Structure 1
């Protein structure tokens, strides 16, 4: 065995063994190192230094090997909740795995070092003679220098030996001087016993101290004492080492040098007291009998700034097998508390609630907590709209969230930044713990970014914007803590507030949460609304209102103090251009009966001018509806594309017809083919999209049903054909085509009233007939009135194997569908059915698809929409 019969944890490989180890292949080196628990990288570093047999090893301690965990234990450790566990103080310093028992000799030798038997001196003679001698102190304590008489040096200090040798050489060899240094030091054997990791006898250097003895033994065990480490010599206790002096105060006066035969003894640990919580060094400390609670606090590094030592909790085991709890004031002088073994001291934290402070958050330049003094107003926090708020701030709608009682219930006050800075009487007085929120005038993040990007910011201003957003995310979290609402709690998701949210059920939420502006009403009001819902009770209705209709941001809002109709409009972002000012309606639930509903109508302009009138004051659960101006219509436009005299986009009035727009466009060009016109409408496109989805879902269900009904060997259902059809359905885009006869409309025979987004495509004259579907070559042919339907199909290579010859149909240029004469499919010889621009469709035989009832419908839709899309793209 390479490292002999000694155990890996207690044997030191000799230089010869190291050289032999280096010659082994790398794989064998790794296997051997793993077997003996050796750090290969550290061992390589050691061998690279070229140490010879006379040198001692530099590495004395490696980290302790951890016990291998079973797979079950590893799984338990992975999912086990991590709990911060207090550890005994100071034990980690010594924890290690003994690997070598000799310290490095490259360190300087102190002049006080006592020379003994086995020490080697290097004597360098220079002058008329130049010699270098390595001389070892013999067993008699003498140093025999060649050509000189022996010198007794054992028991002398290193400095005394240097002076003695230098003087002797100067006297006995004239013209020669000497330089004296120590080479290899002697080794000695000591015992390390008691509560250490690896007790036993160790060979150490003569420079070893008491601390080094503990290191080479792997440190002190968990039940060993750090404060009563004894050095015994010849049966007598020479000194006692308290390692807390070294670890806490850096005092190593009692860390004395060892001598041969010394015994280092570590007794069991004494009284232990744990201290946790808001101290700088939480741990389990060992106390001596005379040490007090003040000493314990010093060992723990003192209290942290956020500590509240006035209510420190002490848990203690009493003699009657029960645990008792003491509540002590650790700021008292003197402290009436004597630590006992097993006490657990926990220093509580101070309250995180702000005292005499207010919080500013939202679209402001400098959000955060600010000191409050009696008499402070909003203008104290925001003195300028140019410097104190962001360019995106809403100047007309801001809130103060205020606690109204000891339960933490809130009330909401509303103000306008413009009014506050313009009128002294509207500058609200702040109270401690108020939260002032300034909203953005944008709800969508995209709109907000677009406005900011157009402004000329300096680099510092851009950095400030980024910092404000990061701080706001933090403030949003603190705000949720302030009012006791956390969005991630499922039980606190938005609940219906009687009729309020019922008013909004018809509106779909199109934006995702991350698409809302950071300072939007939705983002900042959500926890406020949830809090107002929570604190509502019998006799104390939820302080909320709803506003719908022609306002910028309809929704549910907090009912503020002295709520007026004008404040509700400001909360909703103001009126839209289409708002009807002559009439607004408030729906109010009776406080006596929930079934009694009152509808109140009033003039908006009058309400805005008489803000002190009580009839315009709002109540809990009021629902405001702002109507649109009668017959109000936003800009409505249609498109004319293709062969008209003046194609383009035309604005229309309500009720205008296609005939009039065609007349405004100058009519058709000489190259137009009105019979092939394509007319699209958005409302029809929406219906087609829904129909396509339903058809695709129905077809998938029918295919799945058929596949379960058929046997495994039934191959009538082609997977490739089925998959192709489903893929085609998924790719089809709904066009919203309405089949019309443009010539009849243009001539006044028919009337088509237009809608916003309508589009008319007029193609050029076509002289082709197309053949698609289950033919060998789907292509287009020049129109020939002498050719029959069968002739066109023959010109396209004839039918494929799965063509359905009995269900051939023709898609006319205007989008209508015609079937050939029922008495004979191919008796057409005069072109009765065919005209330029027509398309002959040869569908797939549904029999090959296991008689799927939806197959023909699906293929017809694919062909028809595909043809229309191709015609539009050709314009």
Structure 2
């Protein structure tokens, strides 16, 4: 049998440090250790000492916000030097970023749309309450949270306000300058956007900007992870006939802004970045999209699409079953896009 190397656990740091970015996590790693790996703070930066933040994804996939006093960490106070966990994102601010009150905005079909002060632990539900709640004409099944990233693009997080208001399980902690957009039914439309999935720091949907390239999308997503496969990624694009077309690019050449690989994006483009394990291990398959448990799974002999769907917990109720796409990678590096009817696949059609 073949022993597969476990994917590296990572942590991320941004703000006025000498080397912001993503680093390998080490057991027992604390804030001061990460600052040391990032070569410390910039000497001329006016750092805001009283508050820095850790964004942590819990076991329930919800993001948690943890604050700490940066000066206390550097002064050696062990209680302030919080132990990190894999996937943590540490954010350090400059004085000018927090001199004015940190705010969040709520717009659209609300009783009191406007800009509100961001308080500790504030969530989307709290912002909805501060804005007086939804108007009668609000469409509550789909709202959007527009979030700043390290680059100039913004991440678009789709929300179901019914679920958030009902039990809070799907509530989302807010970050500085988040913008919640609540629409009326007649205003519902999907804004131009692009998607990045796989081995990046912050996979998800991002706003599309005219003239943006693959390198811009990777920057908005926080960059690739250390275990990303750099020799190829796949860009899926809709052509004029609404058929999906696959383009393969070299990630290293994308990051070097090689125009033959750092392609200009179009709305609805989807970039898939693979890990070393996914590309170099032929016994792993991956499933994404409208299934109960998207992710990577071992591939036994004679495995079929129906078997993979079963391992992933089955389709979600809103899954489109008439057409799905299988990206098959061959040993010579060539990928083939195969169209599958999921109804027939689940019925055992080979």
TM-score by length of 2: 0.37
**Larger RCO (CA within 8 A; separation ≥ 6):** 2
More helix by share: 1
More strand by share: 2
Larger Cα-atom Rg: 1
TM-score by length of 1: 0.17
